[in-house]
Chains A and B, each alone.
Chain A
Amino acid sequence: MSDSIYAFCVIGICSVVTIIIRALPFLVFGNKKLPDTVDYLGKMLPGAIMIVLVVYCLRGISLTSAPYGAPELICVALCAFLQLALKNSIPSIAISTAVYMILIRTVF
């Protein structure tokens, strides 16, 4: 199998698997009235999931060896601060990402 065809196969597999996963909750809950607990979970889960997603994004950092995840943690804190202060995501994201890119090239 040529490299290019193989890559198309991988893309196809990733696509189908992702679509199946995304469709699962709709297949399970889609055709009946939502139970109270599911309705409650739909409202509350985002609050929990977002935090888990941030931890997921930071999973690669090492807290036991230099620089102890310092650039990531500094920039996450910076981003949270900017968002609290400005309440506007675009400058928060742009500034924090730029600072991160500078930090990993210069200080750390």
Chain B
Amino acid sequence: MDNKTVEKPVYSMPRTFLYAFGQSSPIIFSYIVVGFAFGIMMQEAGYTPLHVLLSGLFIYSGSLQIAMVPLIVAHTPLLVMIFASFIINSRYMFYGIGYTERFKKQGVFYPYMIFAFPDEVYCVFSANSYPSYVDPVKCDLMTAVMCHMSWVSGGLLGVFLGDVITFDMSGIDFAATCLFVCICVNQWMEFKSHIPMYIGLLSAFVCLIIFGSDNFMLPALSLSLVLLVIMKERTKRAMAGNDTEEGIQSEDGAEEESNNER
């Protein structure tokens, strides 16, 4: 209190928490739903709540955990599992790019932030700039912890309530797809240039056709990265707002609107 400097921003802890909860809420919702589906799958395959708890705590990857269940049931050799989990999760290699400085500010929680960084958390972190009253370091950590805990809780709810709920839940995992769609829409409104989106779409379809639906992820992300590097100057110019092509002007309205929302 005594040596408070003028430049030091004044953060409000309750508002930081509320902001973190607000930006996590769609993830919390979808994690509880998809985690629930995972819990039920494990329970039906005959595994215990401890399996579900440890998976949620230490793997924390929806796509891998859900793909893992049939592989466990089939008693896939452990060596094959190493390979399979690497293939399924290889996309995470791309997520840390650009987050080293931001996560280092977490101090002792730096390793935790690196670990607790699945698709959805990557989404919210890449999408926002915090208001001035929010402590960005604490907000990042709170967001990561809340999302992680909701994922674990979803799994546990599923494994415990799987017996009780007789309602057919198939299709509920579509919530994860919807979450990504929402984030795509948000980014579409926020990004000044849509070149990254076009690159992603092009890469995904080209690699889907060439490599097939099971193996397209890693090549698609690599191709996106290469194309983005090639188009660096063009994209930077477009992001700076000097680009008049691709109907940028018509999108300005939507952009302002979304800015006002925040």
Binding site for B on A (CB under 8 A): 3-4, 6-15, 17-19, 21-26, 29-30, 34, 37-60, 72, 75-76, 79-80, 83-84, 87, 89-90, 92-94, 96-97, 100-101, 104-105
How many residues of B sit at the interface, in one of the four size bands? 35 or more
Contact of A94 among B29, B61, B65 (CB under 8 A): B29
Output the nearest chain B residue to A94 by Cβ-Cβ distance.
Answer: B29
A51 near B197 with CB under 8 A, answer: yes
B221-262, CB < 8 A from A? 221, 224-225, 228-229, 232, 235-236, 239, 258, 261
In the bound complex, CA of A101 to CA of B170 (Å): 7
9 interchain residue pairs of minimum CB distance: A42-B98, A25-B96, A47-B196, A48-B200, A46-B126, A51-B200, A89-B26, A59-B213, A57-B177
A-B contact pairs, 29 of them (CB 8 A): A4-B48, A8-B54, A10-B68, A14-B85, A17-B85, A17-B89, A18-B60, A21-B93, A25-B96, A29-B97, A37-B232, A38-B98, A41-B225, A45-B94, A45-B98, A47-B197, A50-B180, A52-B204, A53-B180, A54-B181, A56-B63, A59-B213, A75-B178, A76-B177, A89-B179, A90-B26, A92-B182, A94-B29, A101-B172
B93 near A44 with CB under 8 A, answer: no
B196 near A48 with CB under 8 A, answer: yes
Residues of A contacting B100 in the complex (Cβ-Cβ under 8 angstroms): 25-26, 29-30, 34
B229 near A37 with CB under 8 A, answer: yes
Contact of B171 among A49, A83, A100 (CB under 8 A): A100
In the bound complex, CA of A19 to CA of B123 (Å): 19
Known: A18-B89, A47-B196, A52-B204. A93 touches B191 (CB 8 A): no
Residues of A contacting B235 in the complex (Cβ-Cβ under 8 angstroms): 40, 44
A10 near B71 with CB under 8 A, answer: yes
Known: A45-B228, A53-B119. A80 touches B51 (CB 8 A): no
